[in-house]
Amino acid sequence: MSTWQEKRQARFEKWLEPGVPFASPETKAAYQGRVQRIIDAIELRKAPDRVPVYPNYTYFPAYAYGSLPREVMSDVRKAVEIWERFVKEYGFDAFGIIGIIAPIPVMEALDYKLYQWPGHGGVPEDSIYRYFEHDWLVEAREYDDLALDPTDWWMRQYIPRFCGALSGFTKLPNFTEFMELPNLAGFLAPFGLPEVQESLRKLMEVGSMTLEWMGAVGGLIGKLICDGFPTSAGGFAKAPFDTLSDTFRSFKSAMLDLRRNGDRMIAAMETLAPLAIKMAVQAIDGSGNPLVFMPLHKGADGFMSQAQFEKFYWPTLRQVFDGIIEAGGVPVPFAEGGYNQRMDYMAELPKGAVAWMIDRSDMKELKRKVGGNCCLIGNVPSSILHAGTPADVDKCVKELIDDIAPGGGFMLATGTVTDEGRPEMIRAMVEAGLKYGKY
């Protein structure tokens, strides 16, 4: 049995040699240079050339070229055209595509209710998508259903609530009953119901639409790799507490559950943790990029006391980190907001195993406490990008690099996810990174 370091080395090698027809020897060298730069930062090695410039945006490319999120979420050809131009012109060391994997026509056909999007649900036409918070897990006793059989809870309770077009799924049978003769008729009969058949038809329809959309996005990813640009991450996972408290329950109910239903929550999270690991590992197996993007939410300072964080948030998050690390992947948690009170936990992680994207935390203190173990990515603040000048950005990047880059283990990025913004400011950030980031 190989160690996690050996498994990861194998994944890094595959990431460096993806087996694609590169456009030229130059694009292959550029690709491998970028990937190696990121690997060196993750492994806390002083990079041979410079600090990587890592992306943290969703719809900035659309705004930067005079389009809008609504347009790139509706027209995949336009999205692909804009993204290709952006990736090639802006000079980041990797690229992200989250912004174009949410087709509005698919969400409309599904009557998808977890999110609202520009022009739908009161979101202004020129804005981005937003999450719609609600008690999708209606009563706390459902935590028990989830813990007992997550897939069943998902299919027959959760999905029909957030997808109007799949409301027929409430009538589906229990799949674990489909086996011996006495159960046969009871299992199959519900598939004859008109509402079940209608939902299945809808699902096939959106499946076809999505396949076409993802074909175009997949084509773009392949092309950009051949042209020398790696993806920023190859998998996605969440902290189990965030899955409960962002995705299943409203914030208020989740906070009340901490007091009223703590044991149920913990049992549900223990069920979710291996599923999160499985989702992440399958994705990095498929994509060939071992980095797993993990946006963290309720772990930030201000939502939970230290005691609650230690009891409810950290144990299953740590389990997900360890599962991904053990499989040779690299968790890249995004510590959005401030994590100044959580540094001792971050410092516990195995050396060189995790790369943290940092938003509002104290970077110098992080470098001191966590920098010996984890790569740090960040954190040009949105306030400077919005209210400052290119010279302010240049100064901010220089200070960041002076303070955080020495010794390696640093990537430059915006602190928060960039959507609308001034192109000259983002360009100034990348340019300053290239200028000051040389080792």
Contacting residues toward other proteins, per CB under 8 A: 122, 124, 127, 130, 251-252, 255-256, 258-260, 300, 302-305, 308, 337-338, 359-360, 381-388, 416, 419-421
Select 228 or 299, whichever has its Cβ closest to other proteins. 299
Nearest in space to 294 (alpha carbons), one of 235, 216, 228: 235
Helix (H) / strand (E) element for 411: namely strand 410-414
At residue 236, φ and ψ (nearest 5 deg) are -145, 140
Compare residues 81 and 392 and give the one whose CB is closer to other proteins: 392
* CB-side neighbour CA atoms (13 Å) of 275: 15
Q: Cα angle at 280 between 276 and 286, to 5 degrees?
A: 150
Residue closer to other proteins, measured from CB, 2 or 305 = 305
Closest contact distance (angstroms) between CB of 90 and other proteins is 18
Nearer Cβ to other proteins (64/224): 64
Q: What is the DSSP string of 294-320?
A: EEE-TTSBTTB-HHHIIIIIHHHHHHH
Say how far apart CA 60 and CA 90 lie, in whole Å: 11
CA distances from 29 to 225, 227, 289 (A): 11, 10, 17
**Beta carbons within 8 Å of 119's beta carbon, 6+ residues apart:** 70, 125
Nearer to other proteins, 13 or 126 (CB): 126
Single-letter code of the amino acid located at 251: F
Three-state SS for 161?
helix
If residue 429 lies in a helix (H) or strand (E), which one and from where to where? helix 423-436
- Minimum CB–partner distance for residue 292 and other proteins (Å): 24
Least distance (Å) between residue 209 CB and other proteins:
28
Distance CA 74, CA 90 (A): 24
Secondary structure (3-state) at 355: strand
Helix crossing, 76-90 with 194-226: angle to 10°? Answer: 30
Which letter does DSSP use for residue 148 in this model? H
CB closer to other proteins, 33 vs 421: 421
Residue 48 DSSP code? S
For the chain, the residue count is 439
**Which CB sits closer to other proteins, 79 or 380?**
380
Strands (E), 69-216: 115-116, 130-131
- Which of 36/245 has CB closer to other proteins? 245
Q: Is 2 or 383 the residue whose CB approaches other proteins more closely?
A: 383
Of 351, 366, 348, 291, which Cα lies nearest the Cα of 54?
Answer: 291
DSSP 327: T
Q: Which is nearer to other proteins, 160 or 299 (CB)?
A: 299
Contacts of 334 (CB under 8 A, 6+ apart): 56, 293, 294, 295, 296, 357, 359
Look up tokens 């999270």; give the residue: 269
Residue placing its CB nearer to other proteins in the complex, 16 or 255: 255
Alpha-carbon distance of 369 to 96, in angstroms, equals 29
Least distance CB 108 / other proteins (angstroms): 21
Place of tokens 């230290």: 306
